[in-house]
Structure 1
């Protein structure tokens, strides 16, 4: 049996939007959609002689199952005919969804949950899963263009190969074109966007650097074009600041895919600045795919 698509449900509008996205992904893959709700840990210190803590005794059970029922109704409306399973698990959402990701094809969450502070662009659950999850993570953001391409952020790193494979597979499932975007600047030799203006910093030979970055893009994309010949691919090389260029390109995409870390990542850092920027500011859903470090 194929691994399910798992989506975190907390009753918020953001999580219901995530259910729509997850239902579509489950339908594309022909797998079960698993609705998961975590209701937190029971009190750590109960008075002596108190009966065992039970969610039903605190009025939580009807609330939880009501939220799941709404999510299931939403999923069936968005993707009729898909198989749906429900899970209500005790534990913090971060822990529960990380464990669920071990046996999932894809985990999906909203950009904000019920516990988010006003003005916070991204919930801690999404950031945590992007860094520590055991399967690709998709975060529902913005308003995707259903006719737009799948946008792949190409960084040329070995760890980023998993994101490349995922993006091609996703484009094939969606029958969508793929834009492989590789952004470079004069800091690319050191893979570092440091102080100063990377567009005007002096380099010995900008033309040679551009050729090297084109080679990086070509060698990253070419093998997967052979695997997925049905996917129309545009290789796009842009000289710019990396994060703003990718965020701007996401305006016309239906999905943006990035690795958890790029070639400029610091050792031990589980989530890179580019993937974090996309999670916080992209104009369409974002998939973060962890590679083998």
Structure 2
């Protein structure tokens, strides 16, 4: 580092908006293949801490028309896929139960594009959680497509949980592991700073503000405006290295690292690689906070 300084009906044709309910659930997207285990583990603990329900959601896309093999082996793709999806949701329920046995758990299986399903769920949720499956470039492309369709396009934070996430970091630090937030001095980071500050205060944890990249000399070492939220400690780190590397390094022992989004839900062109690079390197979840009220409401209570 360079000179660092201080349940919906199965088979429904389209994802109808969920009915609002008391409290705001934590929603986790569940793909097939056991790839959501780390995300479900983290989301269950988050729902427990917030005192809300956990919603396990799978958006199922069933191939239509002819496809190779069906007429020869009698494969019923639709029935098989629904069976796999139901089993996946049951398996993830067990994972969540191990973490938070008293948290209400809802399973939603909807036949529609996963991004559309999760967008609908976000209207009444407090948080959307996705897993990073670690299946190489193909998995990164799938995650990237889903994330682009959600981050900044929904009014609540989207949390990406790496498959290698250290699930015990929060417990080892007795709930006081630091919260790390990226700040490039733009409007898109203000909600992220507020979200990170509220979370740090609610957990009695320190806040680390990272300003990194080739333009870091244009920024200063002053603590940003955090409103009425005052964490137990705030540290500002300046470094001229790539932001994803600096953030991942600072977040090594953190419980969460937070990023903002630019106008209209798109990350600013000055840091196009920060998000995928950070998810690849981070050992803790990465929260992407939209501008506006959603960035404030998503903090843990």
Q: TM-score, normalised by structure 2?
A: 0.72
Match of 1:164 in 2: 193
Match of 2:73 in 1: none
Query: Using the alignment, how far apart are the partners of 2:57 and 2:135 within structure 1?
Result: 15
Seen in structure 2, the aligned counterparts of structure 1 residues 291 and 118 have a Cα distance that, compared at 3 Å, is: closer
List structure 1 segments (4+ residues) > 6 angstroms apart after TM superposition.
Answer: 113-116
Query: Using the alignment, how far apart are the partners of 1:239 and 1:117 within structure 2?
Result: 32
Q: TM-score, normalised by structure 1?
A: 0.74
Query: Using the alignment, how far apart are the partners of 1:78 and 1:40 within structure 2?
Result: 29
Query: Using the alignment, how far apart are the partners of 1:241 and 1:109 within structure 2?
Result: 28
SS at match of 1:94: helix
Larger C-alpha radius of gyration, 1 or 2?
Answer: 1
Q: Which runs of 5+ in 2 are unaligned?
A: 1-21, 68-75, 293-301
Q: Does 1:245 align with 2:250?
A: no
Seen in structure 2, the aligned counterparts of structure 1 residues 114 and 219 have a Cα distance that, compared at 3 Å, is: closer
Match of 1:68 in 2: 89
Match of 2:266 in 1: 270
Question: How many residues were matched structurally?
Answer: 251
Match of 1:28 in 2: 49
Match of 2:225 in 1: 220
Superposed displacement of residue 94, structure 1: 1.6
Contact 1:113 1:123 in 2 (8 A): no
SS at match of 2:283: coil
Q: Deviations over 1:105-143 (max 9, x none)?
A: 000010138897267694532343224233100111133
Contact 1:138 1:288 in 2 (8 A): yes
**Aligned pairs for 1:1-293 within 5 A:** 1-41=22-62, 43=64, 58-112=79-133, 117=138, 122-141=143-162, 142-144=164-166, 145-146=169-170, 147=173, 148-183=177-212, 185=214, 187-188=215-216, 213-215=220-222, 218-221=223-226, 223=227, 226-227=228-229, 229=230, 231-243=231-243, 244-261=245-262, 270-272=266-268, 273=272, 274-292=274-292
Contact 2:212 2:242 in 1 (8 A): yes
Contact 2:36 2:133 in 1 (8 A): yes
Query: Using the alignment, how far apart are the partners of 2:140 and 2:190 within structure 1?
Result: 34
SS at match of 1:182: strand
Query: Using the alignment, how far apart are the partners of 2:202 and 2:96 within structure 1?
Result: 19
Query: Using the alignment, how far apart are the partners of 2:188 and 2:206 within structure 1?
Result: 23
Superposed displacement of residue 165, structure 1: 1.9
Q: Deviations over 1:151-200 (max 9, x none)?
A: 11122322222111221232244443222223365x34xxxxxxxxxxxx
Q: CA RMSD in A?
A: 3.1
Q: Deviations over 1:211-230 (max 9, x none)?
A: x5124xx2334x2xx33x4x
